[in-house]
Structure 1
Amino acid sequence: MFSEHSKEFLQKDRPMVSITRNVPLDVVDSLKRIASITEFPEYQELIKSYINEGLHRDKYRYSGISIARFIEALKQNGVSAIVIQQATQDLIES
């Protein structure tokens, strides 16, 4: 159900900090039900996984903005579209 990246994120030997948030009771109940039918022994681990999945997704989503700006800067500085396309393809394939 969850990616290998999420499982690595949940390793216990990473430095941690406690945070406190109020969450509606029905949300906690749902988390507990989902945790009971997944590989997560506790709903808190499921919450960590959800946070990690969203963070991982957004890191890629928002890093794309800077990549697009970088590509535009390359074009404005005379780098051909063919060279940019080949470099992009090489990056994707690696």
Structure 2
Amino acid sequence: MKAETLKKRLDKNRPMTVVTIRIPEDVVEDLKRLAPLLGFSGYQPLIRAYIGQGLRADLERLENHTVSALIASLKRHGVSDEVIHEALSEVAHSS
């Protein structure tokens, strides 16, 4: 994740929107019981944390898949491993 995107994600004052979701009562009760044990002020922040964790994992997986697909395509087009490695190093150092 890029540094600027990460800064935005960590901003506690970023805009929020209301979402309505149906969740089984027993799951909500478990969330309410678990939230304070995990250091959350309530079950809704815990739900947001769970969603955020899953979202970050999926975004990372998607980004890694995209990079892997790009590398494979470059190799099929005759780009050498050395050139690909140099390009990846440049990108890593510029982030």
Task: Report TM bin, short chain.
Answer: 0.7 to 0.9
Equivalent residue of 1:32, what SS?
helix
Give the TM-score, by structure 1 length.
0.75
Q: TM-score, normalised by structure 2?
A: 0.75
Q: 2: distance between equivalents of 1:33 and 1:39?
A: 11
Matching residue of 1:8: 10
Shift, 1:54, TM fit: 0.3
CA RMSD of aligned residues (A): 2.2
Residue aligning to 1:72:
72
Once the two structures are TM-superposed, the CA of residue 87 in structure 1 deviates from its matched residue by 4.7
Residue-by-residue CA offset, 1:55-94 (whole Å, 9 max, x unaligned)? 0000001112211111012212322123334554x339x7
C-alpha displacement at 1:14, in angstroms?
0.7
- Give unpaired runs (5+ residues) of structure 1: none
Give me the identity figure in percent. 39
The residue number in structure 2 matching 1:43 is: 43
Residue 61 of structure 1 aligns with an amino acid whose one-letter code is R
Q: For residue 29 of structure 1, what is the amino acid of its counterpart? A: E
How many equivalent residue pairs? 85
Residues 25-40 of structure 1: pairs in structure 2 closer than 5 A: 25-40=25-40
